[in-house]
Chain A
Amino acid sequence: MREDLRAGGRFPDLELPDHTGNPRRLSELAAGDPLFLNFYRGFWCPKEQAFFRRLVRLQEEAEVAYTRFASVSVDPPEIAAAFRAGLDARWTFLSDAQRRYLAELDLLETTDTVHRPYLPASFLLFPDLSIHQVWNGYWFWGRPTNEELRQGFRAITRAIRPDWEVPAR
């Protein structure tokens, strides 16, 4: 993983096609909110399927909490769309089928020479894409639990919302 992709660094504003083929930027998807960004190997990986089922359970909280998710893989858009639909995920999946950012981010999973996928890595980002926290999910237990994500979203939200402390009359 690239050296500067750690807490306090700034994540690059990637531009990739989404699961419907529309070009999207991370900053556009964040839209002023905290953003959970995860890179996943592909629809075929059982660890990813289990991890996404976990995220889908969290989306019912995220949908009312002014927070965003985005997920990136080398799956083509139509494959990402089918995976997303099967999971009942309601956030944006991005496709780097051309592997444009694999080398730039140094996120190639070198042990899989068949698929050449992204290393499963997760980032919790501020709206300006600065990095709050990073998880290396090569081993499944390295991935964030939903409770860790709640704690991270709370910390970011407290930092960015000026009315976190309810304004006094």
Chain B
Amino acid sequence: METIIGIEIYPIISLTIFFFFFIGIIYWVIKMDKKHINEVCNLPLEK
């Protein structure tokens, strides 16, 4: 592995992507509009 130039960047990139991705999702989910959620989650039950 050490033979690959610039390999150290891989784990750093991975961790960064991960961190921000999940922070983003959690932020988005918390901020979601309740009325909208109610509407969408009842979609399967509509006749």
- Do A and B originate from a single complex? no
Please list the residues of chain B having a beta carbon within 8 angstroms of any beta carbon in chain A.
none
